[in-house]
Chain A
Amino acid sequence: MIEFKNVSKTYSNGTHALQNVNLTVADGEFVFIVGSSGAGKSTFLKLIMCEETPNEGDIIVNGTHITSLKKREIPYLRRMMGIVFQDFRLIDNMTVYENVAFAMHVIGATQSEIKKRVPYILSLLNLQDKQKCRPNELSGGEQQRVGLARALVNNPKLIIADEPTGNIDPALSFEIVDLLSEINRRGTTILMVTHEHSLVKHFHKRVVEIHDGRIVADTASMEVEPDAQD
């Protein structure tokens, strides 16, 4: 699904965000990306989402060499991705239903497709009773479930979750990752950036650690016992 070949990224201010990164993520994998602040995790995600271009190396996403992608082709690549943000990024003056439908509107879905798809996705995430609520009437966990619904509604092949549990209660964090795991079981590749070690320990997934712009550890399916303390 994702392949990084000798990828380096240096910003115009001289910051070496990523240096010679090599990584392959197969279709249907669930990968945690961990690392301290400023390690290069955000740049890693931005490169996949085509928000930035590398200075060196090649990136292949779903069979497409995105480093040579034309600007007008980028939106179509993004349609196979669903993005979940740490700060939810829900539109306050829209209801839950409208927030999710918005993602379909903007890629040109018809009203009948939207009317069929949005209630289905909301019911998957147990939000069917909240569809008329505004984001500020929801708890953090519920807001992130709406964010997840919006990421899922266009049936993406890849979900990129940028610290999706950063702004919610630890207890609810497990619920969100549980949902992501379930989505992953159905075949969607998940890339999740997190700071929370308890989550990484609890869910037996591949962990890639980035430090100072380099991949310092890459563990395929860690077999760690769930820690009751975390």
Chain B
Amino acid sequence: MRKIKTVRTPKKRSGSRLSSLGYLLKEGVKNIWSNRTMSFASVGVLVSCLLLTGAAVLFSMNVDVAMKSLEGNNSTTVYLQEGLPTLTSLRVGQEIKQLDNIEECEFVSKQDAVQNMLDMLGDDGTVLEGLLGDENFLPDAFRISMKDLNLYDETAAQIEAINGVDEIIDYSDIAEQLTSLDNLVTSVGFWIVLILSLVSLFIISNTIRVTMFSRRLEISIMKSVGATNWFVRVPFIVEGVIIGLLSGGVASGLLVLVYNKLVSSIASIPLFSPVDIGPITWRITLIFMLAGALFGALGGLITLGKYLKKEGGDLGGL
């Protein structure tokens, strides 16, 4: 045996120096590849979780927009009884105008109503063209706006009492229905997202547990030669974070794609223009990826906390 020279060797190191970072990142990527089935499952569950969260948030945003547009509209439609002579219709209009709380009162004939609908529907409205003639079953109406909405019920009752008035369509009813639907979606969405989050955490931590088990020999050697717990941890956290980032990317891509497809197919709904997510696509992607990375890191840490307490031979029965 040759003489043993003393060569300068690493002394006390932090174990997480920048020079080791590349090595640790590479190990993390290697973990994902060597355990790809479980990694794929983790990505799948996390994508579902993020998609559902995103869908619930977008739904809420759209309900908000719809409600604002309804509130801003402040218009109520008063339908007249069918077959009412024009003179009678004009008299009803006069009576409505004389009420204290009425700001505007505009006559909308059945022909105007069909034309309005045709304008809003564009090409899709061709089926309604037949209604322009004698087939028009829409009633004549007055579109009114009130000075003080707090006196709404009182004024509506006065209008309904006028002879010749059939019914009053109030958009606040629709707004109320939308709010209760939004509340339902929010609360159901909350529970679904909570449960899926827990499932994602469970699957990610199990994925990392499997990787750790398959690399228990390396971990035991790392610990025996003096690797710090952080050095052992980093590749597994990197694994979780990469799974999270990947899921965030896929989920945001899918959400934007499906949402835009949906928006283009319902664009013809009257009185409603859906939220355009074009300008916030990058923000959605960023938030999704950050949330995914956070979940991944958390999943890794949960597993590692338990595992790192074990020593040498206790690491999976070595």
Interface residues of A (CB under 8 A from B): 46, 49, 51-52, 72, 75-79, 81-83, 89, 91, 102-111, 113, 116-117, 120, 123-126, 150, 153-155, 178-179, 182-183, 186
Contacts and interface: CB of A to CB of B under 8 A. Distances in A.
Contact of A78 (B13, B23, B218, B224): B224
Contacts of B220: 89
A120 B5 contact: yes
Given A78-B226, A113-B9, A154-B225, A124 B4 contact: yes
A75 B226 contact: yes
Interface of B is mostly: loop
Contacts of B1: 124-126, 178-179, 182
Given A51-B311, A116-B7, A108 B225 contact: no
Nearest to B6: A155
B144 interface: no
Nearest to B16: A108
Contact of B221 (A89, A109, A117, A124): A89
A107 B218 contact: no
A74 to B, nearest CB: 8
B19 A154 contact: no
Q: Please name the 5 residue pairs, one residue from A and one from B, whose CB atoms are nearest each other, closest first.
A: A79-B226, A78-B226, A108-B13, A106-B227, A155-B9
Contacts of A105: 20, 23
Given A78-B226, A91-B218, A117-B9, A106 B318 contact: no
A48 to B, nearest CB: 12
Contacts of B11: 79
Contacts of A111: 19
Contact of B217 (A46, A75, A79, A91): A91
- Which of the listed residues A49, A105, A110, A123 has the most CB atoms from chain B within 10 Å of its own CB? A105
Interface in B12-51: 12-17, 19-20, 23
Contacts of A81: 226
Contacts of B222: 106
Interface size classification for chain B:
35 or more
Contact of B10 (A72, A82, A113, A186): A113
A158 to B, nearest CB: 12
Contacts of A104: 9-10
Given A110-B19, A111-B19, A51 B312 contact: yes
Contacts of B19: 108, 110-111
A106 B225 contact: yes
Contacts, number: 105
A123 B7 contact: no
A117 B7 contact: yes
B281 to A, nearest CB: 41
Contacts of A110: 19
B229 A75 contact: yes
14 contacts: A51-B312, A52-B311, A78-B224, A82-B225, A83-B225, A89-B220, A105-B20, A106-B221, A108-B13, A108-B19, A113-B9, A113-B10, A124-B4, A154-B9
A107 B311 contact: no
Contacts of A108: 10, 13-17, 19-20, 231
A89 B222 CA distance: 11
Interface of B: 1-17, 19-20, 23, 217-218, 220-229, 231, 311-312, 318
A36 to B, nearest CB: 19
A108 B109 CA distance: 83
Contacts of B225: 78-79, 82-83, 103, 106-107, 150, 154
A51 B308 CA distance: 12
Nearest to A79: B226
A156 B61 CA distance: 63
A79 B228 CA distance: 10
Contacts of B224: 49, 78, 83
Nearest to B227: A106
A128 to B, nearest CB: 11
Nearest to B225: A103
A108 B11 CA distance: 10
B5 A75 contact: no
Contacts of A125: 1
Nearest to A112: B19
Contacts of A116: 7
A105 B15 CA distance: 9
Contacts of B10: 79, 104, 107-109, 113, 154
A48 B139 CA distance: 95
B250 to A, nearest CB: 30
Contacts of B231: 106-108
B9 to A, nearest CB: 4
B2 A123 contact: yes
A79 B227 CA distance: 8
A155 to B, nearest CB: 4
A183 B312 contact: no
Nearest to B11: A79
B2 to A, nearest CB: 6
Contacts of B9: 104, 109, 113, 117, 153-155
